[in-house]
Amino acid sequence: MTAIAPRRHPTMKLYVVVWIGLILIVGLEVLLTYERLPAGTLLACLLALALVEAALAVMYFMHLKYERPALFWSLIPYLLFALVLMDHFWPDALRLMRQRLHGP
């Protein structure tokens, strides 16, 4: 039989560092909203920071970093599928909202 090599497990210090990083990203997002940036630039910056923040949370706090790579890469198609479905349903939801606003 072959012995399975033990995996490195995260320490509390790593979780605290990631948590402080998430707090710093939130602080940067707040500072960016107080700047007088154009709407498109502000939106792009906030979306990029939110993507980094979500990736850190998923990788460390949901332990996806310590899973097999096959699990990580199998989640990507499902994420893309969910995003495509959301893209198709948002216009319909907005249409329904406009119909209700202009009602009797």
Confirm whether 1 is domain-assigned: no
Give the residue with greater pLDDT, 83 vs 2: 83
Give the residue with greater pLDDT, 38 vs 102: 38
pLDDT score at 80 = 87
Task: Express each pLDDT in 13-60 by its tens digit.
Answer: 989 999 999 999 999 999 999 999 999 899 999 999 999 999 899 888
CA-based nearest residue to 33, from 21, 52, 49: 49
Confirm whether 3 is domain-assigned: no
d(CA 47, CA 97): 25
Task: Express each pLDDT in 49-65 by its tens digit.
Answer: 999 999 899 888 887 77
d(CA 25, CA 17): 12
Confirm whether 5 is domain-assigned: no
Asked whether residue 40 falls in the same domain as residue 81, the answer is no
How many folded domains does the chain comprise? 2
Asked whether residue 18 falls in the same domain as residue 61, the answer is yes
**CA-only gyration radius of the chain, Å:** 20
What is the residue range of 84's domain? 68-104
32, 42 Cβ separation under 8 angstroms = yes
